[in-house]
Amino acid sequence: MGPEGVKGIPFTKMSGSGNDFILMDGMDGSLSWIDSLWVKGVCQRALSVGADGVIILEGDETYDFAWRFFNSDGSIAEMCGNGGRCAARFAYERGIAGASMTFSTLAGPIHAEVYGKRVKVQLTRPRLFDEGMPLETGGHEYTLFYIDTGVPHVVLEVDDIKTFPLVEVGRKIRYHETFSPAGTNVNIVQVLDEHTLAVRTYERGVEDETLACGTGSVASALMASMKRGMASPVFIRTASEETLAVSWEGGTGDWNPVYFEGEVRFIYEGRLLPEALPGIAEKIL
């Protein structure tokens, strides 16, 4: 019980390779009122729970469940690879779905397999827009690999991933008129060996670098497949130092299906109380 007897709203904090999310069970329809304003408030670090996004599982007539996915700024995203892995393990552990499941997203149905802490998701078929897009911004010209892996991503290969000013350059590319009005996510990649990439990502909706990005990892691996001839699987070293695996069937440029696999962790469970969201506390009474 919270102050004045308020029970609050149950939630679970989960991490997919450094991407952290607030997950909530809304299968009974009781959380349909949650909106962008509420999400933006609860995702503020230091002031509330803090997270890269909020995931709400809801009932679906066709699939095991449907999800609503919000970025930390309250915007709605079509898909999130690490979020999808967290949602799958959450659904399995809560008895919402079996170890093999399919759930509905704005990007289309997503199939997932849960193997203990590891989760493998099959993403929607990628759409390649441009394998060598020239773009000038901030007095520099970049050559970008532009693809949709559920959400739009550009990929830029760099010589030194640690020193490259990702946030500065990523923000300029993300908001460039070429990608308006929705914008794009921005990934930088350094080849470590014939099977491994280091990847850092500036995420649209978070508006900053995140410790990992699932759809960005897939975009980076497919760039390496086309530009470097890397064969499936490709291993991704994220900023969180965890390693993810991207695999696919089909030839270069016709990657289908595409799989993304890695470990998912439960961090903690709790209840959101009114003081977690000053100013809109009535939403959790």
Catalytic residues: 80, 213
Measured from the Cβ of residue 39, the count of other Cβ atoms closer than 10 Å reads: 23
Token code pair at residue 268:
């903690």
Strands 100-105 and 108-115: antiparallel
Q: Rounded CA gap, 114 and 215, in Å?
A: 18
Contacts of 114 (CB under 8 A, 6+ apart): 88, 89, 92, 99, 100, 101
